[in-house]
Amino acid sequence: MIYETIRYELTDGVALITLSRPQVMNALDTQMRAEITHAVLQAGRKARVVVLTGEGRAFCSGQDLGDRETAANLDLERVLRDEYEPMLNAITQCPVPTIAAVNGAAAGAGANLALVHDVVIAAESAFFMQAFTRIGLIPDAGGTWALPRQVGLAKAMGAALFAERISAQQADDWGMIWEAVPDAEFAARWRARADYLAKGPTAAFGHIKTALRGAFETDLEGQLRLESRLQGECGKTRDFKEGVVAFLEKRAPHFEGR
């Protein structure tokens, strides 16, 4: 597939997907959603970590509303069901860790596109905004699922109702994201995080995603059973054997991944 709205690079196990419509602050249209979905699915088969970031001054400004006529005729239910759901599912179900490197504004669906990733690293100048009520809508693109889990009901409700900017540092303080990083250090930081994950135990990372994402849907007994099963699978991998040997030999492990 030839991409027109994103760029895709695979280097040393790191798949970098860059949203590339800077003239509209990387707003999401039908083609971009399809290309993100395709790229993430491809990366899940070939890479050891996936990074999504934006070109220019924005990460993603959300749904591309186009002109007045286009916006008035949007079938939002269909768009969410047929275009957003496959994209978001590709990210959340990706077998390798996913990082959103939020370089700038993340608003509306763009904010929630970031928040469904496993790890969110944001430049301090970036911000998040649940902008939906400004045009008479509710948070979508997984926002009503992710926000209460990340920040609690009170903060999620305020963010959704007031549609105010949430700075990267504030998002960090709330536990909405993993970390806010000074702009001068941002690129080096997310690349270092991506490289760390790309060199790590891929199977264990995948099982961590399964266990933690499923923890909200089960009780302790069910979670303990899941942990036992997944840990048993990890214990059969070459990475586990290498990790133990490296620990005993007091050296850094060299994980094969897959």
Same domain, 219 and 164: no
Do 178 and 217 lie in a common domain?
no
Q: Which residues contact 185 (CB under 8 A, 6 or more apart)?
A: none
Same domain, 47 and 61: yes
Q: Is 254 a member of any domain? A: no
The verdict on residue 257 lying in a domain is no
Residue 139 sits in a domain whose CATH number is 3.90.226.10
In a shared domain, residues 51 and 119: yes
The pLDDT value recorded for residue 71 is 72
Q: Are residues 83 and 139 in the same domain?
A: yes
- What pLDDT is attached to residue 67? 64
Residue 89 lies in a domain: yes
**What is the extent of the structural domain holding 208?**
202-248
- Say if residue 172 is in the same domain as residue 217: no
Q: Which residues contact 250 (CB under 8 A, 6 or more apart)?
A: none
Task: With beta carbons less than 8 A apart as the criterion, state whether 15 and 51 touch.
Answer: yes
d(CA 55, CA 198): 23
Same structural domain, 212 and 148: no
E strand spans, the chain:
6-11, 14-19, 49-54, 58-60, 98-102, 105-107, 119-123, 127-129, 166-167, 179-181
In a domain, 14, yes or no: yes
CB 25 within 8 A of CB 62: no
Our count of domains for the chain comes to 2
The ranges of the chain with pLDDT < 50 are none
What is the domain-level CATH number for residue 212? 1.10.12.10
The answer to whether residues 73 and 86 belong to one domain is: yes
Statement to judge: residues 94 and 221 lie in one domain:
no
pLDDT digits (tens, 9 = 90+) for 125-172: 999 999 999 999 999 999 999 999 999 999 999 999 999 999 999 999
> Are residues 36 and 109 located together in one domain of the fold?
yes
Kindly state the DSSP code that residue 28 receives in the 8-state scheme.
B
One domain, residues 156 and 70: yes
